[in-house]
Amino acid sequence: MAIAGPGDRYDVIIVGGGPAGIFSALELAHHSSASVLLLEKGVDISERHCPARTTGTCAHCSRCDITTGWGGAGAFSDGKLTLTPEVGGWLSDYVEAPALQVLIADVDSIYRHFGAPERLYGDDLEALERWSHRAAQQGLRLVRSPVRHMGTERAADVLSAMRAELEERVRIVTDTAVAQILTE
C-alpha cells in the first residue's frame, strides 16, 4: 500500500510510534514548520488488544499488540517514569549529567502536560537521608530515584492525548509496516 502519492512530499518521515517517534514528532510539531509523516506498523492504542491479558497465554499473534502500536512496547507497562540519570540506561555516556537532567525534566513536563499526575514518589528528603545512612552502614549506596507513576490506564490516556495533539500537525498512519524507503 502506498502511503504517499506522486505529489505527496514530507520534510520528515518518522518510522515508529513509540516514545522516540512520538517525542520526535512533538518536537517537530512545536518547533518547526516541517511537514511530518509518522508511520507505525501496529494499530492505535485504542485498538491494541492482547488475548494473553484474558487467557494468560501468549497466542503468538502475527502482529503483537503488546510490543507494536501507538505508544510502543511500554504502552501497557505500569507507566513509571524514573526521573534520574543514575538508573535505567547509559544516556550519561552521551550527554553530560547537568544537560541530561534538563532533558529528563523536559520530558517529565511534557508527560505532565498531557495528563501524567503531579504526584512524585521518592522525593521525601528526610526519608532518603535516613535510608541513605542505613544503606551506608551496610556498605551500600542508596540512589535517589524520583518516580512519576502514571499507572497503565493513565499511561494509555496520556499517549492518546499526545496523538490527538499531534494529529493537528503530523500525518499519522498506523497499521502500516515500513519495508522500504525510497528517496530521490
Instruction: Report pLDDT digits (tens) over 25-71.
Output: 999 999 999 999 999 999 999 999 999 989 999 999 999 999 999 99
Name the H helices within the chain. Answer: 19-31, 52-55, 97-113, 125-137, 152-166
In this structure, the answer to whether residues 141 and 180 fall within a common structural domain is: no
- The grid coordinates listed for 60 are 503468538
Query: Which pLDDT value is given to residue 5?
Result: 60
In this structure, the answer to whether residues 165 and 140 fall within a common structural domain is: no
What's the pTM? 0.87
Strand-pair partners of 15: 39
In this structure, the answer to whether residues 33 and 86 fall within a common structural domain is: no
Residue 4 lies in a domain: no
pLDDT higher than threshold 90 for residue 147:
yes
In this structure, the answer to whether residues 180 and 163 fall within a common structural domain is: yes
Residue 138 lies in a domain: yes
One DSSP character per residue, 109-134 reads HHHHHTT--S--BS--HHHHHHHHHH
Q: What percent of the chain has pLDDT over 90?
A: 79
> Which residues span the domain enclosing 173?
10-45+60-76+154-184
In this structure, the answer to whether residues 85 and 71 fall within a common structural domain is: no
Residue 160 lies in a domain: yes
pLDDT higher than threshold 60 for residue 6:
no
Number of domains in the chain: 2
Query: Which pLDDT value is given to residue 152?
Result: 84
Contacts for 165 with CB less than 8 Å, ≥ 6 apart:
26, 29, 114
In this structure, the answer to whether residues 124 and 181 fall within a common structural domain is: no
